[in-house]
Amino acid sequence: MNKPYIIGIAGGSGSGKTFFLKCFLEHFTAEEVCLVSQDDYYIPVAHNMTPEENKLYNFDLPSTIDNLHFQEDIGKLLNKETILKPEYTFNNPTAIPKILEIKPAPIMIVEGLFILHFKEISKLLDMKVFIDADEDIALQRRIKRDLIERGYSYDDVMYKWINHVVPAYKEFLLPYKDECDKVITNNTHVADDIIRVTEEISTELRKKLF
């Protein structure tokens, strides 16, 4: 193939994008698929902020993403160039980021909250996948993740959820749901459901691409 087949995977916080991606990638080798994550293109701000400013800073806006760099790296992969990118450390100024080496592959996955909102990226997508979950279930997943993995307090999590996460989801992602090729509802905690869906999509792609 001259052009990689580009799959866009979008979903709100707590929808289960990470688990879906993990299951999906297991169906392919490293030579067959590459992943570009919007999270690795946040504009660094941690070193300039106090803890209180960090709490109030809204990371759920398109303006927090270095969209130009995001597009440029996707373009490099389309041109068969390998990219090197520091991994995003979720606004932790003490963390030392790993350097990600992303090599071009026949299938490219682009994932993130705003990939459908960023028109230049959305136009490149051959398949659009929307991971959906009920709001109460997504919130419980967010609370579990942010308390355990990122060290936020419960009050901080709820402040961001009410003031940042939900408004951003409704403005910058939900309007694009109906234009997606596949909408996957992920309300259960049963891994088999997501594994089955990723098997169906990967089988479909193998017939089409390989």
Single pTM value for the model: 0.91
What is the spatial distance between Cα 86 and Cα 183, in angstroms, rounded to a whole number? 31
- DSSP letter assigned to residue 41: G
Residue 89, pLDDT score = 77
pLDDT single digits (tens) 34-52: 999 999 999 987 667 777 7
Instruction: Please tell me the CATH code under which domain 5-209 is placed.
Output: 3.40.50.300
Alpha-helical (H) ranges within 119-188 are: 119-122, 135-148, 154-160, 166-172
Q: Domain map of the chain by residue range?
A: 5-209
β-pairing, 107-111 vs 33-37, is parallel
Residue 169's SS3 state is helix
Q: Considering Cα of 194, then 142, then 148, then 97, what sign does the dihedral take?
A: positive
pLDDT single digits (tens) 113-146: 999 999 999 999 999 999 999 999 999 999 999 8
- DSSP letter assigned to residue 48: G
Q: Considering Cα of 71, then 123, then 63, then 41, what sign does the dihedral take?
A: negative
